[in-house]
Amino acid sequence: MSQIITDIKKEIGKVVIGQDRMIEGLLAGLLCRGHILLEGVPGLAKTTTVNALAKTLGLDFKRVQFTPDLLPSDIIGTEIYDPTHNNFKIKKGPIFTNLLLADEINRAPAKVQSALLEVMQERQATIGDESFKLDLPFLVLATQNPVEQEGVYELPEAQLDRFMMKVVVGYNTKEEELEIARRVANDTFGTIEQVASIEDLDTIRKEAMEVHLDEEIEKYIVELVFATREPKKYGLEEIENYIDFGASPRASIDMYKASRAIAYLKGQDFVSPIEIAYIAKEVLRHRVILSYEAEAEGITQDQIIEKILKAVPIP
């Protein structure tokens, strides 16, 4: 593993206890320039972690609290009339940053969600008649609360598909929670120091993308994605009625990239089936659309993916 990655994790550890899976997901997103969706109940340090990550790399960081009355112009920006010069000026919104934290993204209506689509895919924003390229790296790191049902809007499939991974953030262990309580009560959290630059990030990103993927592993990735679309061909007749739509081609692309990033974070120079299994749920869970029958029976995407991992032969 790169010393830079070790230093970043050490700095984040000053303010975040545990949550290794979330930190790993965010680092993988940075290495792959992929957007990350974090799902978890409030109070699990999602915002704190993203903020800490930005500070360790000296990246520009902005946070938008999504609410039902939010407008697309509140995120992207707008044209403002300047009476002095009798013309319109562009006022850029918070998306013009490196890390955009879209907090509780499912609280905003469809018109706001759709405003993010161009930004997430093209890394550019259109205000009035002008299009503006965003500085790289640019990542949308979104959070959503899985518990709330009132006053929330389900993210459309087209937007969900643009997130490289959906990381489910769970509770800390008893020991970790005790340590959190002690640090908060005694105000003993450390100060985050910048330990790397954007240039350093570009360097380790190139190193991560050089991690070797064997042809058999490449085929394994495609087989897993196809099993979500045609489960019957893989002897998975029992889950066929539970899936309305399987994962899109973006799932294959993102699993390819994310597996390299995870292998790199583990200090490996090649990808094994272990890395594929490790990130399969994160890459696929938001892309497999369940049928009404599955929802009625309480079947989850993770259960479907587990069955697929068991059924598809490991190379």
Q: 34 with 218: CB under 8 angstroms?
A: no
pLDDT of residue 122: 84
What is the token pair recorded at 56?
């360790």
Q: Are strands 243-245 and 163-168 parallel, antiparallel or unpaired?
A: unpaired
pLDDT of residue 67: 85
State the Cα angle at 261 between 38 and 168, rounded to 5°: 20
From 301, 161, 160, 166, select the one nearest 239 (Cα to Cα).
301
pLDDT of residue 1: 52
Sign of the C-alpha dihedral, residues 174, 178, 184, 188?
negative
* Rounded Cα gap, residues 38 and 28, in angstroms: 13
Q: What ranges make up the beta strands (E) of 232-308? A: 243-245, 289-290
Q: 216 with 185: CB under 8 angstroms?
A: no
One-letter amino acid of 82: D
Per-residue pLDDT of the chain (315 residues; tens, 9 = 90+): 578 888 888 888 888 888 888 888 899 998 998 899 988 887 777 888 888 888 888 888 898 888 888 888 888 888 887 787 777 788 888 889 889 998 888 888 878 887 787 788 888 888 877 888 888 888 898 888 776 566 677 777 777 888 999 998 888 788 888 888 888 787 777 788 888 888 888 888 888 888 898 899 999 999 999 999 988 888 888 888 888 888 889 999 999 999 999 999 988 889 989 999 999 999 999 988 888 988 888 888 899 999 899 988 888
What is the token pair recorded at 104?
């509780």
- Output 116-123 pairs: Cβ under 8 A, ≥24 positions apart: 116/75, 116/140, 116/159, 117/158, 117/159, 117/162, 119/76, 119/95, 120/35, 120/159, 120/162, 120/163, 121/162
pLDDT of residue 262: 92
| Phi and psi torsions of 63, nearest 5° | -120, 135
According to CATH, the superfamily of the domain at 3-197 is P-loop containing nucleotide triphosphate hydrolases (3.40.50.300)
**What does the domain layout of the chain look like in residue ranges?**
3-197, 209-311
Architecture of domain 209-311: Orthogonal Bundle (1.10)
Neighbours of 169 (CB within 10 A): 19
* Rounded Cα gap, residues 205 and 214, in angstroms: 20
